[in-house]
Amino acid sequence: MGNMKLTLKIWRQNGPKAKGELNTYPVNDVSEDMSFLEMLDVLNDDLVRKGEEPIAFDHDCREGICGSCSLFINGEAHGPGRMITTCQLHMRKFKDGDTIHVEPWRAEAFPVIKDLAVDRGAFDRIQAAGGFVSVNTSGNLVDGNAVPIPKADADTAFDAATCIGCGACVATCTNSSAMLFVAAKVSQFALLPQGKPEAKRRVLAMVEQMDKEGFGNCSNTGACEVECPKGISLEHIARMNREYLAASVTKE
């Protein structure tokens, strides 16, 4: 079935504090129809049979919607190809005989848990700082669809909401900045009437948490937008900058 032979250089690290290194693994029998994760499954199967420790990597849905899978493959977040996650990356993107580098997301705010798996809890804490709307659930809840929303606003909010929190934006950014992620989460509420009452508080709190987590500063290189599997646009970062500037000067 498989027709490709590859050499993988994979980051192995036993735990958060352990020293890691790139190890070399040959893999045979790779089919071009496999996803990158399936290829890693084949390698892990092999390692387990040999009594070696399998390589830890994150994955869940394997259809590009959960944001679990990560991996910096051959120098790019989610590997070669645009608008895809690693689970959507097919081995046909590579050639027989290729050497492929596989590293975890690199950022102070995304510490390695083991091998290729990193802790993206910083994103959860940013979200918890303000990425929500407080709704009254005591029986007088308003039907969301009863509030008129211009189509263009609804569409843009939805575009922002397609962010899956994968962290590719951070991984690819030369500054390890999380601005694209935070901007998407701010925008998805800022554009909707339901999000307006808490808009100022939200943007200030989420940006504050982002800085606390140790992400770098955005210098507008634009790399995040290129590598984002969901095509989240830099316009959302500009919207967050506007919201942030306005909230900073008008806060009580």
Partner 1 sequence: MALTGLFLCIFLIAHLAGNLQLLDMSPGGQLKFNAYAKFMTTFPLVKAVSYLLYASILFHAFDGLLLAMQNRKARPIKYAYEKANASSKWFSRQMALLGTLVLVFIVIHMKQFWYEMHWGPLGMDADGNKDLYTLVAFSFTQLWYVVLYVIMMGVLAFHLMHGFASAFQSLGLNHPRYMPIIKNVGVFFAVIVPIFFALIPVWMFINA
Residues engaged in binding ligand FES (CB under 6 A): 59-62, 64-69, 85-87
Decide if residue 221 touches ligand HEM (CB under 6 A).
Answer: no
In whole angstroms, the minimum distance from the beta carbon of 152 to partner 1 comes to 11
Selected from 75, 121, 197, 231, the binder of partner 1 by CB under 8 A is 75
Nearer to ligand HEM, 83 or 245 (CB): 245
Selected from 176, 187, 188, 209, the binder of partner 1 by CB under 8 A is 176
Torsion over CA of 80, 90, 43 and 108, rounded to 10 degrees? Answer: 40
Decide if residue 217 touches ligand HEM (CB under 6 A).
Answer: yes
CA 101 and chain centroid, separation: 19
Nearer to ligand SF4, 34 or 243 (CB): 243
Nearer to ligand FES, 66 or 226 (CB): 66
Decide if residue 220 touches ligand HEM (CB under 6 A).
Answer: yes
- Of these partners, partner 1, ligand FES, ligand HEM, none, which one is at the site of residue 87 (CB under 5 to 8 Å by kind)? ligand FES
Residues making contact with partner 1 (CB under 8 A): 9, 11, 22, 72, 74-76, 101, 103, 106-109, 172, 174-177, 214-223, 226-227, 234-235, 237-243, 245
